[in-house]
Amino acid sequence: MPDTKECLLYPTPQNWLEQAQQKENASMLLIYHANCKKTAFITLNLLVCYTELGDLPYKLSRLAHKELCYFEQLASIIKKR
């Protein structure tokens, strides 16, 4: 798994990580996890459709990468449970 510091523009707030690791917030974590997957999927589909529009493909690629990093970070938290 890539270090999230390598692919995220801003560090994940420590408070968010602490909240995500609390068992009572499991449903919130799973919803966020699903949204990251959905966002990455939609972004990759747009990337395929709009490959010839200036720097848009690059921006879409970065967004998909960021969302997949969040997904991996959340998957790691869920796996530890």
Structure tokens at 59: 């921006």
* 66 band by pLDDT with thresholds 50, 70 and 90: confident
Ranges of each domain in the chain: 24-80
Task: Determine the pLDDT at residue 5.
Answer: 54
Q: Quick check: 1 and 72 in contact, CB under 8 A?
A: yes
Residue type, 15: N
- 11-62 confidence digits (pLDDT tens): 778 888 788 788 887 777 778 777 778 888 888 898 888 888 888 888 888 8
What is the pTM assigned to this prediction?
0.63
